[in-house]
Amino acid sequence: MIGSIVSAIVIGAIVGALARLVIPGRQSISIALTLIVGIAAALIGTLIAGALGIANTRGIDWWEHILQLALAVAGVLLVTQMRPGRTGRADRNLG
């Protein structure tokens, strides 16, 4: 149980950081929020991969990690769009 939590945090941190690197431009969210999005993406990705039967393979579970990264990218984009003061807002120059 403790090992699973620690592994989710580590994988979540890596997936969250990679998501921010994949997305072009600057994201206006904190590192802590990126970590939370990454952990959530790692956990949800593992659940989906398990349901699809691709979670436990011999060697590295590439498909599971790709799924986790895709979910993290979507999560970071979603959180960035929901945060006030984000860059690229259409109404920024309406003053």
Q: How many CA atoms lie within 13 A of 10 on its CB side?
A: 6
Sign of CA dihedral 50, 54, 59, 63: negative
Q: Domain ranges in the chain? A: 14-83
pTM of the full structure: 0.76
Encode pLDDT of 34-64 as tens digits. 889 999 998 898 889 889 888 777 877 888 8
Q: Which amino acid is at 90?
A: A
Taking only the tens place, the pLDDT of each residue in 12-36 is 889 988 998 888 888 888 888 988 9
Alpha carbon distance 17, 87 (integer Å): 19
